[in-house]
Every structure is written in C-alpha cells, then in structure tokens.
Amino acid sequence: MKEGMIVEVVGFEGYEDTVIEGYLARPVTAGPTPGVVVLHHAPGLDPWCKEVVRRFASRGYTAVAPHLYHRRGPGHWADVAAAARAEGLAKAMPNDQVMGDIAGAAAYVRAQPGANGRVGVIGFCSGGRQAFLAACDVPSLDAAVDCWGGSVLPQPPDPGRPGPAPKGVIHRAPDMAMPLLGIFGNDDLNPAPEQVDEIERVLTKHGKSFEFFRYDGAGHAFFASDKPNYRQEQAVDGWERVFEFYNEHLR
Amino acid sequence: MCTWMTEQIGIAGAARGVPDWLKVTRANVFYDHPVSAPFDHALIIDFVNPDAGVGARVGIELSAASAWELVRAITAALESPEAQADLAAERHVLPGPEHETVS
C-alpha cells in the first residue's frame, strides 16, 4: 500500500490526436510502476470512478481515467455527460473513438516517470464492454478487466427500446491479444449468467486466455460503494482478484 | 386568476440546479443509472437548452416510485380549470414533432 500519491487532471492525445481530459493518480515511489486505464460507466467520470483511479495509485499503479465524453464539452463533467447520454451511446461514445482514446491514455501512462512499460485496462458497465473490445483492438495494452460489461453479446430486438438492438463486440473475440479477467454478478440482467456462459464458450473456442469470477448474491455494479447494489463481501473479493490479475500480468 | 392549488408530494432523489432562471427548450427523459441519487437506476429528467451549452441544464433524478407520484401530481395540477382552458385553447403548443428517441 502506497501512502503518498499525486492526483491531477491531465490532457493527452486521444483518437485522431484530439487532446482530451483525463483524471490521473500515481504513487509517490522510486520503483517501477505499471499503468492502468480506467473506463468510466455511463454516468461519466464521476466521483466513484475517480475513487477507483486513486485506489489503483494506492496499490502502486499509475492510473488514468479518460473523460470519454470530453468532446461533448466544455462544461462540468455531469452536464457534459448528460448532453452526451441524451444523444445516445453510438454518438456519445463510438467504438473507434473510444479505442483511440484508450490507446492514447495507455501511451500517456507509459510515458510517465518510472513507468515499467506495462499497461492494463479496466472498465465498468459500458466501460466493461469497451475493455473487452480494447483487448481485441488496442494491442499496446497488456491485460484487460471487464467488470459486468453489458451488451458484449448481440442483444435481441426489444420493442420497448428505441433504435437498433446493440450488435455486441463478441465477434471480435478471435482478435483478443491479451489475458482477460471478467467480474460478474449472478443476479445481473445484462450480462445475465447465461450470457456470461456464452462469452466463456466463445473465448474457450478461440483458445483465449481468460478467467471469470462470478458472484452469487450480487447483481450489476456491485463494486459501486455509493449505490444499493454494492455488495461488501463480493466486492472485497472481486477487487483482490483484480489486483492478483494485474500483479501477474503487469509487474 | 391565481389558482393557489399546489400538489405537494414526498420524493426521493437528487437535483442539479442553476443560479438563476434559465430558458429551457427540451426535456430529456430516461430511466438509467443516476449520477447522484443513491439508487442503481432512476427516472432522470434533464431540462435543457442545447443552444446555450451543456451547462444550461436543470437535472433531476427520482426513484421510480417518486416519479410516479410526480406524474400523479402533475396530472392533478393539470385538472385545474385554468390548465384545462389553456389546453383547450392549444396555448403554447410547440410546432412540429417534439417526440424524439435515441438509443
């Protein structure tokens, strides 16, 4: 556990060399430091996501969370997120743009003083799906963690929801080029347990390196300590699985 | 005339305010993960003016039960004779289609 850290808002080049904002924390240490790119969930780069960034710094990682809605600004992060969400996911966070922003964030972390050159990605909810895709699409990364990423699989048409059904990203699984850790709650509806079964089946078929931890008594977003879905026992264990995984692949 | 009729309801949720009056031209309504309200999902309404930047926003995040109570209170308030007269006269009706959905 590192007692000291430096926390700052930074700018770095993301997709198509556009400079976007990120929230960065790094430990005060002379030792070599691995990096983590943290992908926020749909509400945006909120206080809980920033806590996650600082959690990684406290465990000896330089972490940065790219503000994936940055281009919809300027303005307060919550207003920017509200404007982006109103326009829909496809326009607010197109996959190519997010992948470019992740690659830029990874390069920025790798350029920090003391970086050991290895960088992982972790994402929550929509960020979990993006982390899965990044494992297939951003070869500069070394490891990926998908926390309850929704719509990794194509979703069936739902007359109750407007617009086309999500196409999913599972078709990119053959391109996965790094180990993947998955964290899921068995009470989740997206991804539901049978969907996680299917993701496991596809990754196994393609011979990919992955490890899934699936928790009873937990649903969606059970790490979110400010919301009712928080599950203390499962979350504590899940975080230890994350740090074990990164300790193996990033140090 | 002044109606002096107010529907008061208890609600659970969060609101993001602005320091002064704001022209609003659109309401974005969705049920999704809230930013501030301590729920996993919430009924979110953003009253915005897209032409005035992203900060031109009054946002509320309500529990589903609170939102239903709000619907009931709005419906009750619209029963007033003044509201019924305005509706019948089609006052302040917006031109063109105002219902849009995105996903």
Token readout for B3 is 């109606």
pLDDT(B97) > 60: no
Residue A242: predicted pLDDT: 98
Other C-beta atoms lying within 10 Å of the C-beta of residue B71: 11
Q: Does A159 touch chain B (CB under 8 A)?
A: no
* pLDDT greater at residue A115 or residue B3: A115
Residue B101 has pLDDT above 90, yes or no: no
Interface of B with A in 60-99 (CB under 8 A): none
Per-10-residue mean pLDDT for chain A, 251 residues long? 89 97 96 96 95 97 97 94 90 95 98 95 97 98 97 85 82 98 97 97 98 98 95 98 98 96
- pLDDT of the residue at B102: 61
Q: So what's the pLDDT on residue B99?
A: 59
> What pLDDT, on a 0 to 100 scale, did the predictor assign at position A162?
65
pLDDT confidence tier of residue B89, bands split at 50, 70 and 90: very high
B32 touches chain A (CB under 8 A): yes
3 state DSSP class of B86:
helix
The 3-state DSSP class for residue A78 equals: helix
Please list, in sequence order, all residues whose beta carbon lies within 8 angstroms of the beta carbon of residue A142, skipping any fewer than 6 positions away.
Answer: A118, A119, A120, A178, A249, A250
Q: Which helix (H) or strand (E) holds B59?
A: strand B57-62
Domains with residue ranges and CATH for chain A: 5-250 (3.40.50.1820)
Residue B96 has pLDDT above 70, yes or no: no
Distance from CA of A231 to the nearest CA of B (A): 13
Euclidean distance between CA atoms A93 and A39, whole angstroms: 12
**C-alpha distances in Å from residue B20, one per residue of A43, A74, A82, B15, B53:** 25, 20, 20, 15, 15
Q: What is the pLDDT of residue B6?
A: 80
Q: Is A221 an 8 Å CB contact of chain B?
A: yes
When pLDDT is cut at 50, 70 and 90, the band that residue B7 belongs to is confident
In whole angstroms, how far apart are CA A41 and each of A175, B2, B72, B73, B97? 24, 46, 32, 33, 32
CA distance A241 to B56: 42
Note whether B2 contacts A: Cβ–Cβ < 8 A.
no
Domain ranges of chain B: 13-88
Q: What is the pLDDT of residues B49-62, one digit of tens each?
A: 999 999 999 999 99
Query: With bands split at pLDDT 50, 70 and 90, how would you rate the model's confidence at B87?
Result: very high
Give this complex's ipTM.
Answer: 0.81
For residue A20, report the phi and psi dihedrals to the nearest 5 degrees: -120, 165
Nearest alpha-carbon partner for A113 in A36, A9, A3, A32: A32
What is the pLDDT, as a whole number, of residue A195?
A: 97
Mean pLDDT (chain B, rounded): 89
